[in-house]
Structure 1
Amino acid sequence: MERIEDFAMKSLLLLTLVTFVQSISFCNFTLSSDSLLLELREDHGVDLEVTCFNETDEYNTILEFLIQNKDIVNVEPPILLVDPVNSTHQFFIEAASAGHTEVVISTVDSAIKFKPLCLIVNVFKHHYLDILSKVFGWIYILSWGASYYPQIYLNYKRKSVVGLNFDFVALNIVGYCMYGIFILSVFFVDEIQDEYFHRHPRGLIPVKVNDVVYNIHGISALVVTVIQCFVYEKGNQVVTMFGRITLALIFLFSFIIVILAGSNVIEWLDFLYYCSYNKVIITALKYIPQAYMNFKRKSTQGWSIGLVLLQLSGGIFSVLQMILDSYNYNDWVSIFGNPTKFLAGMLN
């Protein structure tokens, strides 16, 4: 008798569960685009494709748009009535003011199960300023990138690195590597970008593709220079005590912040900022040994003036690009989002 009652109870629970599952519509929602770049007062249509499973004709559902920064974009219509039948719906995003925002699409209907969608929208004031920013970006990349070739060519032509200060070379490559940790992590790691937007919800990611190209190319050019220092005549040149102490302090600081980030004392975004600050410190210090060496020798032979001129022009256009973007996207906080790029440009 007990077995019969137990079987009946389990059957009733199973029937209830099946009925509940059948009452829920499992849907897949897909956006035609997950990010938009709009000019002020421009509007853009976005398609929402709906594919439902366990379809039922008993009800429709309402989708709502949750706008992170409501002054930046408007959504029309403000809500979408979605049929339970597979279909495509369209809504429009209108750019109301410059900046960055996210639009989350969700529903309060418990009978519809789907993962909320997120649409990222960046709005700029003027299209020509956006183009000019890209031009400035590639000018500074080409200037800073090309700045190493006059020195590499001079070393090759002389078959000597006498006159090129080894402290400058050592500090430079370490600075690029430290900055590379920041650049590549912010550009490629989604979790780091989430941390950044949590702190700066109205901001843009402060790293662009030309920053990535610049860093990787710079490290490659410096590796060639280091190889030249081993291969060509170098006289009695070595990394001085100043350079060794500076590098030791930088590595010690980096080791400490890795421990702090791994122990959750600081966030990983802070760790990356601290790594990038090493680049700023190195940029401020790396020219001192070379300038002192030139003064002591009363000569700049072996040191390419082309490197100096190209780094100067690169620094100017780097700062101009950041100022232009900050104005065009109404996002002055992005200068502080990537303070290393701004300060390195000013120091150069």
Structure 2
Amino acid sequence: MLDFLLSEEGEEQYKSEVVNTISNIIGWTYFVCWSASFYGQLYENFKVKNVKGIAFEFLGLNLTGFLFLSAYSSAGYYKGGDNGWPFSGDITVQDLFFAYHAVAITLLTIIQTGYYYKKGDNKGVSLWCIVVLIVLWSQTIFYVLLTWIFDWQVIFQQEKLNVLYWMGYEKLFISFIKYVPQVFLNYKRKSTVGWSIFNILLDFMGGFLSFLQMLLDSLNGKSANLVDVNIVKFILSWIAMGFDGIFMFQHYILYNPKKRTRDALLDEYSIPKK
């Protein structure tokens, strides 16, 4: 979701310093949007005092994804480049803060979910999700053993820290699948109550601004083409906007809470719907 995945090293030469400044402002803005979006679900859980509206699979996958992102970012920030390890990620202190903050707020959301959980609210984490998490963690640990202990060069043979690049791609995979259980839960319940639309709106804005920044950087000469700016960031932006579009359609069109309340009142008093 941020600039810190798989960006290329090297001197950056811009055609326009003004456009570069605008790009930096946009970058900070989408950083704030994505960081603030986490708090919408905390408030939603507090407001409804139950967790019927949130898929536990989403929480489990989200935590794993941001833990992987934190490992990637930490290695790039503390040990990358001039600090001794070959690492092409351009990790800033803001990137590091975002990753750590995401882990902390996701853990807080899980704790809050446990506090508000009542028997029957949610069936828990599905078997398929447990299997996915076991596979992700198992192959990551195995990858670490091969790369760092036995010194095998696996998959990314040109990079000593290849396991951390693999974690970056795992984060991409998690981001692609983590929203699916929530989409299905909303469909099954025919409601989005308990799932924060505030979270979705900010996430969509962050994804759009992320893409806009890449577009400006590409036009301003940062890379030869748009995707080369940051392939993972490019894909994550469109994944976020795609699923957020689905959630907004569910919330405002299919399962609009105001419309459903009105329909329930009309049914109760046998008033014909217009």
Q: What is aligned with 1:299?
A: 191
- 1:340, CA displacement in angstroms? 2.9
Match of 2:106 in 1: 222
Structure 2 gaps of 5+ residues are 1-7, 154-158, 241-274
Residue 245 in 1 paired to residue 121 in 2?
A: no
> Equivalents in 1 of 2:135, 2:166: separation in Å?
13
Aligned to 2:86, what secondary structure does the other structure show? helix
Instruction: Tell me which of 321, 328, 333 is aligned to 2:213.
Output: 321
Q: Is the 8 A contact 1:186 1:193 kept in 2?
A: no
The 3 A distance-change label for structure 1 pair 304 and 288 is same
Are 1:264 and 2:155 an aligned pair? Answer: no
Mapped pair 1:289 → 2:181: yes
Do 2:215 and 2:226's aligned partners in 1 also have CA atoms closer than 8 Å?
Answer: no
Query: What's 1:50 paired with?
Result: none
Q: How far 1:229 sits from its partner (Å)? A: 1.4
TM-score normalised by L of structure 2: 0.73
Note the residue ranges of structure 1 that are not aligned, 5 or more in a row.
1-98, 102-120, 198-204
Flag the 1:260–1:324 CA change in 2: closer, same or farther, 3 A.
farther
Give a deviation string over 1:253-295, Cα, whole Å, max 9, x none: 2122112211222243321110011111111101111111111
| Identity of matched residues, % | 31
Give, in whole Å, the separation in 2 of the partners of 1:296 and 1:157. Answer: 22
Higher strand share: 1
CA distance in 1, matches of 2:230, 2:72: 9
Equivalent residue for 2:261? none
Query: For 1:174 and 1:328, how far apart are their aligned partners in 2?
Result: 35
Q: Report how far residue 193 of structure 1 moved.
A: 7.3
Match of 1:195 among 56, 69, 86: 86
Return 329-338 or 183-192, whichever deviates more. 329-338
The equivalent residue for 1:151 is 41
Q: Contact 1:151–1:307 (CA<8 Å) still a contact in 2?
A: yes
- Length, aligned pairs only: 224
Q: Which of 242, 261, 275 is the equivalent residue of 2:167?
A: 275
**Deviation at residue 316 of structure 1 after TM alignment:** 1.3
Structure 1 runs (4+) deviating above 6 angstroms are none
8 Å Cα contact 2:20-2:217 kept in structure 1: yes
Amino acid at match of 1:246: V
**What is the CA–CA distance in structure 2 between the aligned matches of 1:193 and 1:319, rounded to whole Å?**
32
Q: Is the 8 A contact 1:137 1:210 kept in 2?
A: no
Return closer, same or farther for 1:182/1:326 CA change in 2, 3 Å cut-off: farther
The higher radius of gyration belongs to 1
* CA offset digits 1:216-262 (Å, max 9, x no partner): 22112111101101111343321111210110111122122112211
- Over the residues paired in the alignment, what is the CA RMSD in angstroms? 2.5
Instruction: Name the structure where helix makes up a greater proportion of residues.
Output: 2
Tell me: CA distance 1:217–1:225, structure 2 relative to 1, closer, same or farther (3 Å): same
Where do 1:1-348 residues align within 5 Å? 122-190=12-80, 195-196=86-87, 205-236=89-120, 237=122, 238-262=124-148, 263-266=150-153, 267-332=159-224, 338-348=230-240
What is the TM-score when the length of structure 1 is the normalising length?
0.59
* Pair 229,100 (structure 1): closer, same or farther in 2 beyond 3 Å: closer
**Distance in 2 of aligned mates of 1:342 and 1:321:** 10
CA distance in 1, matches of 2:93, 2:45: 30
**Contact 2:222 2:229 (8 Å CA) reproduced:** no
- Please give the secondary structure, in 1, of the residue aligned with 2:13: strand
Q: Deviations over 1:176-218 (max 9, x none)?
A: 1111211221122135775246xxxxxxx53344322322221
